[in-house]
């Protein structure tokens, strides 16, 4: 069936709008990348837009040789990988009984959980609780206080509620206990929603900033986003004596290289999870 003239016009307008919208989102990142490979004079004189001007690797050579930046990168990798695994595990363990029809008090528990989505914990009691647990200046302070995201847990619960109860009933008749039903039946069927929630958690841990500012004083435990903030707010963190007279990099190009360094890893993960992300986000919203 051929498209009508109106449908063709709509497609052209729609694709044009989406292309322009995508460009407005990508352009700042591409400009930052181009600036990181440009000469200091070109970067400071606002000559760089989407392509490097007077191409140089100077800023990247300096950034990649900074040990403190790699230490922060390692901290961020640890809290992202370990935090995401633990968060998904505990979110699943919380969502499964709340999706079970025989759990008598699930409505009351869900009410208490939803309240936390509306009212956040006050800052001072939150800090004192973490302090009383002995987690100040500990890498676990960046993981445990935010271990279960309420929104992510609700998405998993909603997905579990859409799985036919006959599957778990049949498994239990065959002698399966709840843990076996969860890990051998529910989780294999839940790959899309688990990928979606994993991406949410991973992005959250990768961008950890507020908890690091509150709970971490040791510079060796600062995650990448805190280190990035130090470089941008305090340019002297990037200064070295041989920068004077250097024509390969300056504060502007070093800031651009650091921003790209911090953003690239998490951006590269998304394409591998995209198909699961879209499917999981839609499936998780079908049943309330």
Is residue 145 within 8 A of residue 130, CB to CB? The reply is: yes
Res 78: pLDDT? 94
Q: What is the pLDDT along the chain (288 residues), one digit of tens a residue?
A: 567 777 778 888 889 998 999 888 888 888 888 888 888 888 878 888 888 888 888 888 888 888 888 899 999 999 999 999 999 999 999 988 888 877 788 888 888 888 888 888 788 888 898 888 888 888 999 999 889 888 889 888 888 888 887 777 777 777 777 788 888 888 888 888 888 898 889 989 998 888 898 898 888 889 988 888 877 776 555 554 444 445 667 778 888 888 888 888 888 877 776 666 655 555 544 444
Rg of the chain (C-alpha set): 24
Determine whether 20 is exposed, middle or buried from the number of CB atoms within 10 Å of its CB (0-12, 13-18, 19+). Answer: exposed
Q: What is the pTM of this model?
A: 0.80
Closest CA to 98 of 186, 184, 205: 186
The distance of Cα 248 from the centroid of its chain, to the nearest Å, equals 33
Give yes or no for a contact between 79 and 208, defined as CB atoms under 8 angstroms apart. Answer: yes
Nearest one of 258, 285, 255 to 43, comparing CA atoms: 255
Q: Contact, 47 vs 53, CB < 8 A? A: yes
Alpha-carbon distance of 110 to 191, in angstroms, equals 24
- The span from the CA of 77 to the CA of 83, in Å, is 10
Measure the CA dihedral 232/233/239/244, to 10°. Answer: 90
- Closest CA relative to residue 89, chosen from 207, 187, 189: 187
What pLDDT does 80 receive? 93
């Amino acid at each position: 069936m051929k498209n009508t003239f109106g449908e063709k016009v709509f497609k052209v307008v729609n694709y044009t709008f989406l292309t322009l919208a995508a460009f407005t989102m990508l352009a700042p990142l591409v400009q930052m990348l181009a600036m990181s490979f440009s000469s200091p004079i070109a970067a400071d004189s606002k000559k760089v837009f989407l392509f490097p001007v007077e191409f140089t690797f100077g800023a990247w050579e300096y950034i990649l040789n900074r040990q403190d930046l790699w230490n922060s990168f390692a901290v961020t990798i640890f809290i992202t990988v370990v935090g995401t695994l633990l968060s998904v595990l505990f979110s699943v363990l919380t969502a499964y009984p709340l999706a079970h029809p025989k759990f008598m008090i699930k409505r009351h528990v869900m009410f208490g959980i939803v309240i936390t989505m509306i009212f956040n914990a006050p800052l001072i009691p939150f800090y004192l609780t973490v302090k009383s647990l002995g987690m100040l200046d500990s890498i676990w302070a960046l993981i445990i206080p935010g271990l279960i995201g309420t929104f992510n847990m609700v998405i998993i619960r909603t997905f579990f509620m859409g799985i036919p109860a006959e599957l778990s009933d049949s498994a239990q008749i065959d002698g399966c206990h709840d843990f076996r039903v969860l890990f051998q039946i529910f989780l294999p069927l839940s790959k899309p929603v688990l990928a979606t929630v994993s991406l949410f958690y991973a992005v959250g841990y990768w961008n950890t900033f507020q908890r690091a500012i509150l709970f971490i004083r040791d510079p060796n435990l600062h995650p990448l986003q805190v280190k990035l903030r130090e470089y941008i707010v305090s340019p002297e963190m990037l200064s070295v004596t041989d920068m004077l007279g250097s024509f390969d990099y300056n504060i502007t190009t070093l800031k651009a290289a650091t921003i790209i360094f911090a953003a690239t890893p998490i951006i590269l993960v998304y394409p591998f999870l995209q198909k699961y992300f879209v499917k999981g986000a839609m499936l998780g919203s079908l049943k309330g």
